[in-house]
């Protein structure tokens, strides 16, 4: 079974992060699998003479099992500067590709979304979660710099709140994430999540693909989402911080590697 599963039902596509035994932590292999799926979606939605329909225009992104995505699998790249650089660059590239998909991307945050996992939530167009979920960016607590997620968080909640969230570290509840504007909808309990998500996905699927695509394209142009250079620099910065002896020592201790 693939680490990232994709299903298509007319206008609606569903992408599931599928590494539940590791709480969907982003390893090199998982990120690579997600890239493969997102590239498939990009191909489906790119106009071509051969294809008459323009492909799905809504994407639901969720996690298998109890977590949405517990973050970057740092344990797997400890001690290798090259692997950690590759991991962060793969994350940066994935966020960029997701943002540029001509589809409304909805994060159905079924469980904890932490660090890079929360970054994936932030880059989506709309997000739903539940009150008691756990989300956030605890990177600074781990000696890591959340550089790749930062531009997306600023675009989502504004620079003032992003500053507060990223410098504070720690985790917050789904309710607090909603209050800050990190998620667009928050339901009372986990059992309310699927019905609410399906209602939103149905509304989006019934909308005009052309109108939604044109709107998303314009939003991306005006809010800086097309800027790859900043993300690339962020990935390099994050890797540099990750590879300092101080951070490596802290992570080795925290992750019990």
Partner 1 sequence: MSDHSQSMGEGELVRLVRQGPLALLALNRPDKRNALTPEMLERLLTLLEAPEVLEARVIVLCGEGGVFCSGFDMRLVHADSRALSKLLTGLTGVVRAMRACPRPIVAAAHGAAVAGGCAVLAGADVVVTDRAAKLGYPVTRLGISPAVTVPGLLGMMSAGGARERTLDSGLISGEEAARTGLAHVCCDQPEDVIPKATRLAQHLAEKPGSAVAAMKGLLARLGSGPEDFELALRASLGLVGSGDQLARVAALWPMPGGERSGPQATS
Residue numbers at the binding site for partner 1 (CB under 8 A): 104, 125-126, 155-158, 161, 181, 184, 200, 203-204, 206-212, 214-219, 221-224
Residues 6+ apart with CB under 8 A from 81: 239, 243
Task: State which residue, 219 or 257, has the beta carbon closest to partner 1.
Answer: 219
Residue with tokens 């390893």: 27
- Rounded to an integer, what distance in angstroms lies between the CA atom of residue 174 and that of residue 131? 5
Is 234 within 8 Å of 92 (Cβ atoms)? yes
CB of 125 to partner 1, least distance (A): 5
Q: Hey, what long-range contacts does 159-167 have (CB within 8 A, 24 or more apart)?
A: 165/136, 165/137, 166/137, 166/139, 166/140, 167/140
Q: Which is nearer to partner 1, 213 or 236 (CB)?
A: 213
Its sign, for the CA torsion 16, 18, 23, 27, is negative
Find out whether 252 and 72 touch, Cβ atoms under 8 Å: no
Rounded to whole angstroms, how far apart are CA atoms 182 and 240? Answer: 27
Burial 41-80 (b: 16+ CB within 10 A, else e): bbebbeeeeeeeebbbbbbbbbbbbebbbbbbbbebbbee
**Nearest to partner 1 of 73, 125 (CB atom):** 125
- Supply the minimum distance, in Å, between the C-beta of residue 156 and partner 1: 3
Instruction: Report residue 68 as tokens.
Output: 């949405």
Active-site residue (options: 139, 176, 226, 232): 139
Of the two residues 59 and 67, which places its CB atom closer to partner 1 in the complex?
59
Ramachandran area for residue 6 (φ above 0: left; ψ -120 to 50: alpha; else beta): beta
85 or 178: CB nearest partner 1? 178
To the query of whether residue 139 is one of the catalytic residues in this protein, the response is yes
Instruction: Catalogue the active-site residues.
Output: 139
């Amino acid at each position: 079974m693939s680490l990232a599963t994709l299903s298509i039902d007319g206008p609606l596509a569903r992408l599931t992060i599928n590494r539940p035994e590791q709480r969907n932590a982003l390893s090199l292999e998982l990120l690579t699998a997600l890239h493969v799926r997102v590239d498939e979606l990009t191909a489906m939605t790119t106009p071509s003479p051969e294809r008459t329909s323009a492909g799905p225009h809504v994407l639901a992104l969720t996690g298998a099992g109890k977590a949405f995505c517990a973050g970057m699998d740092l344990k797997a790249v400890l001690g290798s500067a090259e692997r950690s650089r590759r991991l962060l660059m793969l994350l940066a590239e994935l966020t960029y590709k997701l943002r540029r998909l001509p589809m409304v991307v909805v994060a159905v945050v079924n469980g904890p979304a932490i660090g890079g996992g929360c970054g994936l939530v932030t880059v989506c167009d709309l997000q739903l979660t539940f009150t008691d979920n756990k989300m956030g960016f605890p990177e600074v607590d781990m000696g890591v710099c959340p550089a790749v997620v930062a531009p997306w968080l600023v675009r989502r909640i504004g620079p003032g709140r992003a500053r507060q969230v990223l410098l504070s570290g720690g985790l917050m509840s789904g309710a607090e994430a909603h209050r800050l504007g990190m998620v667009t909808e928050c339901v009372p309990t986990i059992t309310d999540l699927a019905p609410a998500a399906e209602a939103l996905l149905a509304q989006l699927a019934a909308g005009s693909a052309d109108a939604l695509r044109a709107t998303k394209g314009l939003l991306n142009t005006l809010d800086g989402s097309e800027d790859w250079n900043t993300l690339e620099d962020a990935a390099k910065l994050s890797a540099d911080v990750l590879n300092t002896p101080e951070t490596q020592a802290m992570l080795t201790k925290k992750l019990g590697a």
